[in-house]
Amino acid sequence: MTYKIATRGSKLALAQAQQVADALAGACPEHTFELCIIKTQGDLNQHAPLHQIGGKGVFVREIEQALLNGSADLAVHSMKDMPCEVTPGLSFSRVWKREDPRDVLVLNGAGSLRELPHGAQIGTGSLRRAYQLRALRGDLEVCGIRGNIDTRLCKMRETPFDGLVLAAAGLNRLSPECGTVQPLSPQEMIPAPAQGALAIQLRENDSALRAMLDALSDETDNFCVGLERAFLAETGASCHEPVGAYCTAAQNPVFYAMLGKETTERFVKKQVVLNREHAETQVRALAHAMRRELEAL
């Protein structure tokens, strides 16, 4: 049987979808897997900030429609781009092994964040990154930027930008030439929930395909990403509010969380050690506590 894999057409999206296709072809040689490129609203509008054109869902709606109408069998997304609400008729496989979840600072001349000159211009299209970056270096000028990784790197070279904040996962999957790269620890910058993880989406009733996908999942990352997504859902955050969440893969996981206001740069950050047996209850309670603390600011 031939399965069609829906994906966006960017280099990163194609690399991620091909990774899934290759893994499935290796595990299930009796089937073939083809990529099906679909343009989304987020691809067509490369200029407006994401929080102004509908948030994360702008990268997935057209792809989900392809699944629902049967023109594709599964879809590969970046999990961090997926809304918490599950579209009726669709579901996700268990999470596969994820890439490095950290954010990185790509520098255009300087050797580190500390070495950036006073007033340096740093590009990012994310409020979450912008808020935390200015908390690290209040003198920096954070500038909005959109586009795929190559576009952003090109803009950095052609404009006065002194650096960019990008996801480590995207750089690792594409390996572009980009100069000095400084990883940012969760203590410095808490990543987006599920950053680095792939979301593999399929029709809810396709049990045969689900079995193939789940056989390739990673138990630890499925646990950690599930907690990060649970925290995101429990915050009740809109697509305009910055949220960060990262769970370490340890026997006693450390959970890093960030929640900010849309209209000001006020935010709260927490770091807690989880009990694995009660971890989901803990992160949901943490979300409510942080929401109350944020509203009191």
Q: What secondary structure letter does DSSP report for 108?
A: S
Question: What is the four-CA torsion angle of 225, 228, 229, 230, rounded to 10 degrees?
Answer: 120
Q: Which two tokens stand for residue 134?
A: 């200015």
- Tokens 């969380």 belong to residue: 257
Q: What secondary structure letter does DSSP report for 93?
A: P
Q: Which two tokens stand for residue 280?
A: 């989901």
Find the angle CA(63)-CA(32)-CA(226) to the nearest 5 degrees.
50
Catalytic residue from among 81, 103, 162, 221: 81
CA separation for the pair 180, 191 (Å, rounded): 20
- Tokens 């781009």 belong to residue: 81
Q: Are the C-beta atoms of residues 265 and 134 closer than 8 Å to each other?
A: yes
R_g of the chain computed on alpha carbons: 19
Active site residue 214: no
CA separation for the pair 23, 48 (Å, rounded): 35
CA separation for the pair 18, 220 (Å, rounded): 23
Q: Is the dihedral of CA 70, 208, 15, 194 positive or negative?
A: positive
Amino acid at 2: T
Strand bridging mode 2-7 / 32-37: parallel
Amino acid at 6: A
Q: Which two tokens stand for residue 268?
A: 């709260």
Active site residues: 81
